[in-house]
Amino acid sequence: MGYGVQYMVCLALFTAEYFVQTPEWPHDAKIKDGSVFDFIVVGAGSAGSVVAARLTEVSQWRVLLIEAGGDPPVEAIVPGYSPSLQRSQYDWNYYSYQNQTGAAQKIPHVSPVAKGKVLGGSSSLNTMVYARGIFSNNFFYNDHIVQSVLDLNAEHEIFLYNFLILRPKSRGSVTIKGVGEEDDPIIRANAIYNPEDIFVLREGIKRIVNYITETKYYKHIGAKIFKMNLPQCDYFEFLSDDYWDCYCVNMLAMEYNQCCSSGMGRVVDEELRIYGTRRLRVVDASVMPSIPSGNLNIPTITIAERASDLIKHEHLGK
């Protein structure tokens, strides 16, 4: 980490600690044995916080909001600084398992899945800013990949891009391992299992590379595409389709914004009620029937607003 970056990090810490006033978060409720509630909302995340707030607009309703985590720290309200909360006590610290992909990850074939264990849920870990591709330990690549990039940076100005598939064809799974808090779900990304996803990644990378290498500036400074230290792909001709396919499979990392595991029409009905149950709804990003092309925080809040209206209409007829 360069001195300039260190300075900016220290400045952000100083600003957070001394100039940002932490909000007064809601106090924990005192629950007595035998207490009765009209509604119980499990999880005070992007959706749960909204649903609980909207239901309490009806003065005669008693609403219990349950959250496993505590209040957010000051870093959660400083734009751009909340990623420091990932892999901390404010994160559930889940991992996804990728089987044949992601061999270049710090833990081969395993990617962190950031999910907020804090008031506000994953919205408290949401960076709140548009981020350009910056290579850092947040990408969780293993040491030889990181060192390969750092070595190249020491000799040349290297530009790095994150290439995302917004609407992948591959589908993962979430399996419950147990009912205890210590029993993490088994998350299998199954990333790029569908050949069309590899095709999209490869062609996207090729388009970016071709565009950059044809620019006047690139040619003027005599720049070139450098090869990473990726032994798994040494068998293929550099920059060939086979090389890029290998590159995608091994460098693949999980991003955020997982959704659709309890999709509408499959697990819940059009009013988000779980099929075969009574008085039980799912209100979060999992009910999306298909993957949106963007960050899920605002769409999830919108779902919660709509769900709140549906619940009120069901019970009040308004």
Angstrom distance (rounded) from CA 253 to CA 96: 10
Residue 138 is part of a domain; what is its CATH number?
3.50.50
Structure tokens at 303: 């779902």
Domain that holds residue 162: 3-316
Overall domain count for the chain: 1
Q: What is the pTM of this model?
A: 0.81
Looking at residue 27, what is its pLDDT? 86
Angstrom distance (rounded) from CA 51 to CA 40: 10
| CA-based nearest residue to 84, from 72, 96, 94 | 72
Please spell the DSSP secondary structure of 190-253, one letter per residue: -TT-SHHHHHHHHHHHHHHHHHHHTSHHHHHTT--PPPP--GGGTTS-TTSHHHHHHHHHHH--
Which stretches of the chain drop beneath a pLDDT of 50? 1-8, 130-134, 136-139
Looking at residue 252, what is its pLDDT? 85
The model's pLDDT over 224-242, given as tens digits with 9 standing for 90+, comes to 888 888 999 999 999 999 9
